[in-house]
């Protein structure tokens, strides 16, 4: 079966694209599927750092595109997960070193031998974004529950629609249930009301994510991490499983759940 | 800000009534208006109503070039002065507007006086999708959106704007100066709303969402529930 190409993008920087790409890649690979992650952020690579593979880089994306190495030579195999591979970005070049056509050719070369290609897009709406989206079968938009991130996500959705990539799906990252409850943070519903696309994941804010990014151990590898579990749920939804969304505001145990069940006007 | 110029939407573009006064001043204020409202005028075809002003081919040619450098094109100069008419004709400009062929029904529906030039003759633009941040729709006639207009999106219409959905972006109705234009939405909560030359921002919402219509009444921009408009309008 040919691989599906999933591009992870956001418009705004710093919302957690790279973290999402690493964790979704890890989660897919840990369920036994063959995965290639591609860092399309040429000039500012960091997917390798988050995945803990930085010290094994020999060749990069630009080397493949410019014919200095074979595809397989540039693929770094993750020792923890034998089905996970990374094609790192070049550090010394800029986004113009690769064209959307190059990315399509690269994806086509990878497709026959893998199940998933996960592309980490750079921030912005220029060349790097178009490179990352060009080969995509599915685009995931990562946003945070804050107005400026949602605004940029909306802009990106418009651009993805214009590329006729089909409707993108949404990952809301860094949700703080406590703040949502107080009304200080946009809720999932608020975000969906504006963006009106299908939700594929809600990831709670989790200090462990920062710690694990620094250590190069994606949170999806940690069975105790809440964010890690949310990323694993995204991977399962990508595989077509129906996974209910975890109620992040579940703070109050049995009574709280009962009161939500009997509340009039609920989702029933 | 330059004094507002009366602008009307006509069949082939925009008709600007050029006020009387020293030509240099008038010319400067015309160009200043266009510079200020560059978004609206970009790509527009302009007709100038000059009344009895006498202008030679040199002045008109210079004005045409000045307009062209602002991304607008002068296509007609209307004047009762033979000098101006001849000059315009020599520059291959029209000296009359093509009469809009308006339907009888529309004529009868019109309540007051001659609306002939005030209602843009362009057909309405129908958009069957949500306008997202960064998307701009500019149309000389009416604009109808079946979907939402998200924050960061913008509609500039010569006529009315109707949004069957949430209107949260920026909207400008009657952008050619039509003060009878209105904006209707199922949820009227624009970032900024303009009708003709008036600007307003949405007040904080109180109460439930309901369909509303914004219009100019005695020079004030007001929004009223759609029910009221039907009862009293």
How far is the alpha carbon of B132 from chain A, nearest alpha carbon, in Å? 6
Q: What is the pLDDT of residues A259-268, one digit of tens each?
A: 445 544 434 3
B117 pLDDT band, cuts 50/70/90, is very low
Taking contacts as CB-CB distances below 8 angstroms, the residues of chain A near B130 are 196
Q: Is the pLDDT of residue B154 over 90?
A: yes
B188, with CB counted inside 10 A (0-12, 13-18, 19+), is buried
What number of residues does chain A have? 268
Q: What is the pLDDT of residues B182-200, one digit of tens each?
A: 999 999 999 999 999 899 8
d(CA A72, CA A8): 23
Q: Give B87 or A120, the one with higher predicted confidence.
A: A120
pLDDT the model gives residue A263:
47
Tell me the count of A-B CB pairs closer than 8 A.
Answer: 30
pLDDT the model gives residue B104:
36
Q: Is the pLDDT of residue B39 over 80?
A: no
Q: Which residue has the tokens 């107080």?
A: A182
Q: Give A53 or A252, the one with higher predicted confidence.
A: A53
Determine what percent of chain B is predicted with pLDDT higher than 90.
Answer: 31
Region B92-112 average pLDDT: 52
d(CA A155, CA A10): 9
Contact (Cβ atoms closer than 8 angstroms) between residue A114 and residue A61: no
Neighbours of A245 (CB within 10 A): 13
Residue B149's DSSP bridge partners are B131, B167
Contact (Cβ atoms closer than 8 angstroms) between residue A118 and residue A87: no
| Helical residues (DSSP H) of chain A, grouped into ranges | 17-30, 47-51, 61-65, 71-74, 100-110, 127-133, 147-162, 177-182, 188-195, 207-215, 226-238, 253-262
| Ordered structural domains, chain B, with CATH | 7-90 (3.30.70), 122-232 (2.160.20.70)
Q: Give B9 or B224, the one with higher predicted confidence.
A: B224
Q: Is the pLDDT of residue B3 over 50?
A: yes
Assigned token pair, B39: 């978004």
Cβ contact A155–B134 (<8 Å):
yes
Q: Judge whether B19 is closer than 8 Å to chain A, CB to CB.
A: no
Neighbours of B19 (CB within 10 A): 16
Region B207-211 average pLDDT: 86
What number of residues does chain B have? 233
Cβ contact A152–B133 (<8 Å):
yes
Q: Judge whether B132 is closer than 8 Å to chain A, CB to CB.
A: yes
Cβ contact A151–B148 (<8 Å):
no
Taking contacts as CB-CB distances below 8 angstroms, the residues of chain A near B134 are 154-155, 158-159
d(CA A152, CA A138): 19
What is the assigned CATH class of domain A4-262?
alpha beta
A143 pLDDT band, cuts 50/70/90, is very high
Which helix (H) or strand (E) segment holds residue B62: the answer is helix B57-68
Which has the closest alpha carbon to A40: A6, A14, A77? A6
Residue in chain B nearest A149 by alpha carbon: B133
Q: What is the pLDDT of residues B55-101, one digit of tens each?
A: 888 888 889 888 888 888 888 888 888 788 778 877 778 777 765 43
Residue in chain A nearest B151 by alpha carbon: A151
Neighbours of B179 (CB within 10 A): 15
Cβ contact B152–A194 (<8 Å):
no
pTM beyond 0.80: the answer is: no
Region A79-93 average pLDDT: 92
Assigned token pair, B209: 């969402």
Q: What is the pLDDT of residues A156-212, one digit of tens each?
A: 999 998 888 889 999 999 999 999 999 899 999 999 999 999 999 999 999 989 888
pLDDT the model gives residue B95:
77
Q: Which residue has the tokens 């100066």?
A: B177
A230, with CB counted inside 10 A (0-12, 13-18, 19+), is buried
Q: Is the pLDDT of residue B118 over 80?
A: no
Contact (Cβ atoms closer than 8 angstroms) between residue B189 and residue B167: yes
Q: What is the pLDDT of residues A179-188, one digit of tens each?
A: 999 989 999 9
B11 pLDDT band, cuts 50/70/90, is low
pLDDT the model gives residue B228:
62
Residue B168's DSSP bridge partners are none
Out of B130, B133, B166, name the one closest to residue A151 (CB). Answer: B133
Taking contacts as CB-CB distances below 8 angstroms, the residues of chain B near A159 are 134
pLDDT the model gives residue B142:
94
Contact (Cβ atoms closer than 8 angstroms) between residue A144 and residue A174: yes
Neighbours of B108 (CB within 10 A): 8
Region A218-237 average pLDDT: 93
């Amino acid at each position: 079966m040919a691989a599906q190409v999933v591009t992870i993008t956001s418009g705004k920087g710093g919302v957690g694209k790279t973290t999402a790409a690493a964790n979704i890649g890890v989660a897919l690979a840990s369920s036994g599927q063959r995965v290639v992650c591609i860092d399309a952020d040429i000039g500012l690579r960091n997917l390798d750092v988050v995945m803990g593979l930085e010290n094994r880089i020999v060749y990069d994306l630009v080397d493949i595109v410019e014919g200095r190495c074979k595809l397989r030579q540039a693929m770094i195999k993750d020792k923890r997960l034998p089905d996970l591979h990374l094609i790192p970005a070049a550090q010394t070049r800029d986004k113009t070193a690769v064209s959307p056509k190059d990315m399509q050719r690269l994806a086509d070369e990878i497709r026959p031998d893998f199940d998933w290609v996960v592309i980490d897009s750079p921030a912005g709406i220029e060349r790097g974004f178009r490179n990352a989206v060009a080969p995509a079968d599915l685009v995931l938009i990562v946003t945070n529950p804050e107005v400026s991130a949602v605004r940029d996500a909306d802009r990106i959705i418009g651009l993805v629609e214009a590329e006729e990539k089909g409707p993108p799906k949404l990952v809301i990252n860094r949700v703080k249930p406590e703040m949502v409850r107080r009304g200080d943070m946009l809720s999932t519903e608020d975000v969906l009301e504006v963006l009106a696309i299908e939700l594929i994941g809600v990831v709670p804010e989790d200090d462990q994510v920062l710690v694990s990014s620094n250590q190069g151990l994606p949170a999806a590898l940690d069975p105790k991490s809440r964010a890690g579990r949310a990323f694993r749920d995204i991977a399962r939804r990508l595989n077509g499983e129906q996974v209910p969304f975890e109620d992040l505001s579940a703070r109050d145990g049995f009574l709280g759940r009962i009161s939500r069940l009997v509340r009039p006007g609920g989702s029933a | 800000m330059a004094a507002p110029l009366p602008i009307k939407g006509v069949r082939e573009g925009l008709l600007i009534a050029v006020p009387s006064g020293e030509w240099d001043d008038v010319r400067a204020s015309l160009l200043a208006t266009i510079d200020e409202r560059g978004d609206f005028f970009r790509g527009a075809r302009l007709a100038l109503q000059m009344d009895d002003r006498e202008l030679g081919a040199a002045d008109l040619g210079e004005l045409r070039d000045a307009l062209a450098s602002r991304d607008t094109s002068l296509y007609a100069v209307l004047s009762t002065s033979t000098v101006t008419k001849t000059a315009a004709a020599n520059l291959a400009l029209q000296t009359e507007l093509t009469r809009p062929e308006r339907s009888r029904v529309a004529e009868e529906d019109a309540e007051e006086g001659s609306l002939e030039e005030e209602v843009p003759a362009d057909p309405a633009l129908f958009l069957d999708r949500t306008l997202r941040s960064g998307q701009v729709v500019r149309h000389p006639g009416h604009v109808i959106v079946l979907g939402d207009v998200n924050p960061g999106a913008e509609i500039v219409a010569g006529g009315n704007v109707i949004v069957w959905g949430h209107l949260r972006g920026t909207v400008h109705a009657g952008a050619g100066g039509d003060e009878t234009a209105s904006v209707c939405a199922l949820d009227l909560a624009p970032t900024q709303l303009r009708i003709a030359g008036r600007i307003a921002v949405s007040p904080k919402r109180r109460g439930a969402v309901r369909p509303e219509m914004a219009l100019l009444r005695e020079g004030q921009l007001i929004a009223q529930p759609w029910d009221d408009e039907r009862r009293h309008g």
